Structure formats: C-alpha cells, structure tokens
C-alpha cells in the first residue's frame, strides 16, 4: 500500500470482539449512566471525583502510582483565576495525595528517568500572562513555572512528549492558517525556545489512500508516540490523527489518518486521546462527563502489544483503532445520562505497567 511506503508498515490491528455486553451501571449526584464493555474486555471503576475536584482528564504513571489531572471546570484560558487538582492514586485506585496548579490543566507527562511531572495549563489562550508550564518534583513538590509564548496567534499548549532527548509540544487553538501546531521546546534558564515542527497547513500523505493532501488542522490536542517512534498528533475537532515520522529532521514525513466509526456510511468521529498497548496490566480511561476514571481489562489473553485504542469525547466510546483505514471499532460504549442527555466523554487514556497489590 502507498501509505506503507511513506510511513513504514504500521501494525495490523485485530478486530474487536462483538459478543454479549457486560454493563456497569453508575449512579450518583454527578452522573446516572451505563457503560458497557464488549467481551473479552471488562470495565470497572478505578476512581471517582469527590468534593473539591471534578472532570478528570490527563493520566500518567509514576512508579507504582497514577496521577490524574482534574480540570474542575476551570476556564480553558485560565481567565477565571481558578485552579485544577492533580490527584495521586495507588495502582489499585487508593487516593494517596493531591495538589493544585493554577489554571486549566490538560496535559500531564513524566519526564523519563526523573521525578519531574510536566503540567500544562490554559490550552485555549492566555499563554503570555500566566505560567502555562509547571514542572513539579514529585519527591519534594517543589515547582518551576515557565511561560511559553504563543506561536499561533494567541492559542496555548495542550500536550507534551519526550523523544530522543527532545521535547515536543502541541500548540493548540490556532487562530488561522499557516500557524504551528507542533513545536520543539528547549528550556533555557527561566525562559523557553520554541521551534516549529509542523504547521497546520503542511503537506501530508493520506494514509488510507496513499495520496498527497494538504493538512487543514483546526484543533490540535493530544500527543503520543507510536511503537515505531512516530509522533501522533490528535486534531480532535477535525476527527483526524497526524503521524510525524523523523520529526524535526530533513527526513520528516507526515501522514494523515481520518477517524471514522463503522456505520453505513462511515461517520467521522472525534477522539481525544490514543494509547498503544504494551505488555501492560490494564487500561485506564478518564470520563470527564461521568466524573469517573475507569479501569478496562482484557482478562482472557491481555492486550495485544502495538494495538491502538482511542477514546472519543463526543461519541461516548473507546475503541480499537485500525491504523490502516482509521476505523474505530467500539469496545466500550455508553448510554446518555437521562438528566443531561450527555454521553460519556472519554479523554485521557493510559496503559498501566504493573500492579502494586
């Protein structure tokens, strides 16, 4: 296939089983909904919001614990002066500690081989007025704040990954065409240096067709690294993933994968986060509407390494993503809350490495 020549062969994904449904009924002051898992998958509650924190989003693992960023309904540009809450849990979901960061937290990442938690705030705007990156030492909780100036007409930053001793960061909410949506970040004392990796109207290859296209990215969001080392940028509102091979080199290649669900005709589907299975114990998923972090298990044979799983913020599903054609086959579905008519809105996904008890 043409896309394999452009981006190398991506793993062939196994189809999700479509057998009987196993349902988990949740009810409480914040939600009343049903989430269902298709065998061989099973779903349970890992953690829930409590007084003082709500709307879980990003999830990271640090040693034998998990940290979840709760946005608390704070304005996405931080203009209301409120704070988000980061909650640390054991790998069995027991609350260990919590602390706040000023502004709307969306991106969390642990710098490899360190105790540094990088927390990004205010993805939609206001980046030049308040620190939008705070690096927190998880041993001491000491903090180092940074202001990353906007590179795209006023938008902020959404997610960060570390690759080959480099830092890549998503520039979100661009105000028009030919603005950076992905930059390389370098810290220099108390300031930062940004260098453009990808603009929102750069050329790319359409992965399912192998044909050249021009990007038209309006909503850059989450960032990940796939098993082949490609950066994977989620353009959430555009229902697309962008794969960047050899980023920030002369050999950089870009592939575009439109996301659909298997209806007739296929339905474009937004996704918020994509995670690639490794030899992990379980998958965690944050549901911002349900104020719940779910645990998803595959008890029969575990998760197949390399398989991509994506969570939709609008369709109320988590699915297996076929990297050849962009079809998202649901393994987790939800029904609307009868009071609000809202589906689950799945945001952060994390494959957890081992269990502590």
| 159-199 confidence digits (pLDDT tens) | 999 999 999 999 999 999 999 999 999 999 998 999 999 99
pLDDT given at position 17: 33
Q: Which residue has the higher pLDDT, 11 or 157?
A: 157
pLDDT given at position 338: 84
pLDDT given at position 3: 37
DSSP 3-state of 7: helix
> What gap in Å lies between CA 21 and CA 42, rounded to an integer?
9
pLDDT given at position 1: 35
DSSP 32-53: EEEEEE-TT-EEEEEEE-BTTB
pLDDT higher than 70, residue 276? yes
Q: Where are the domains of the chain?
A: 17-43+274-321+329-349
Backbone angles phi, psi at 278, to 5 degrees: -125, -165
- pTM, two decimal places: 0.90
> What gap in Å lies between CA 16 and CA 102, rounded to an integer?
40
pLDDT higher than 90, residue 357? no
Residues in a beta bridge with 98: 87
Which is it for the CA torsion 256, 261, 263, 268, positive or negative? negative
Characterize 258-289 residue by residue with b for buried, 16 or more Cβ atoms within 10 angstroms of its Cβ, and e for exposed.
bbbbbeeeeeebbbbbbbbbeebebbbbbbbb
Which is it for the CA torsion 166, 170, 175, 179, positive or negative? positive
């Amino acid at each position: 296939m043409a896309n394999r020549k452009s981006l190398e062969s991506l793993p062939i994904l196994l189809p999700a089983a479509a057998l009987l449904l196993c349902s988990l009924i949740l009810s409480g002051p914040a939600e009343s909904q049903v989430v269902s898992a298709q065998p061989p998958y099973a779903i349970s509650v890992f953690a829930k919001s409590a007084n003082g924190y709500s709307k879980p989003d990003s999830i990271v693992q640090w040693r034998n614990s998990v940290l979840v960023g709760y946005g608390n309904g704070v304005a996405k540009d931080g203009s209301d002066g409120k704070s988000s809450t980061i909650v640390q849990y054991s790998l069995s979901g027991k609350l260990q500690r919590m602390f706040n960061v000023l502004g709307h937290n969306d991106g969390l990442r642990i710098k490899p081989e360190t105790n540094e938690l990088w927390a990004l705030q205010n993805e939609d705007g206001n980046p030049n007025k308040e620190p939008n990156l705070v690096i927190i030492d998880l041993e001491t909780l000491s903090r180092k704040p940074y202001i990353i100036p906007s590179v795209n007409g006023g938008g902020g930053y959404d997610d960060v990954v570390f690759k080959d001793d480099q830092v890549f960061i998503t520039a979100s909410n661009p105000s028009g065409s030919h603005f950076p949506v992905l930059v390389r970040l370098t810290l220099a004392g108390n300031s930062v240096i940004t260098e453009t990796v990808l603009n929102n109207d750069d050329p790319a290859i359409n992965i399912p067709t192998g044909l050249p296209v021009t990007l038209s990215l309006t909503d850059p969001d989450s960032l990940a690294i796939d098993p082949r080392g490609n950066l994977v940028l989620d353009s959430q509102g555009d229902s697309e993933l962008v794969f960047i091979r050899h980023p920030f080199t002369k050999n950089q290649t870009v592939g575009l994968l439109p996301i659909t669900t298997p209806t007739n005709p296929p339905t474009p589907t937004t996704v918020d986060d994509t995670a690639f299975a490794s030899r992990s114990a379980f998958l965690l998923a944050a549901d911002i509407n349900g104020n719940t972090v779910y645990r998803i298990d595959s008890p029969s044979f575990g998760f197949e390494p390399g398989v991509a799983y994506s969570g939709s913020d609008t369709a109320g599903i988590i699915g297996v993503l076929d990297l050849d054609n962009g079809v998202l086959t649901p393994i987790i579905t939800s029904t609307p809350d009868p009071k609000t008519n809202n589906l689950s809105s799945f945001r952060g996904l994390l494959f957890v490495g081992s269990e502590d008890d």
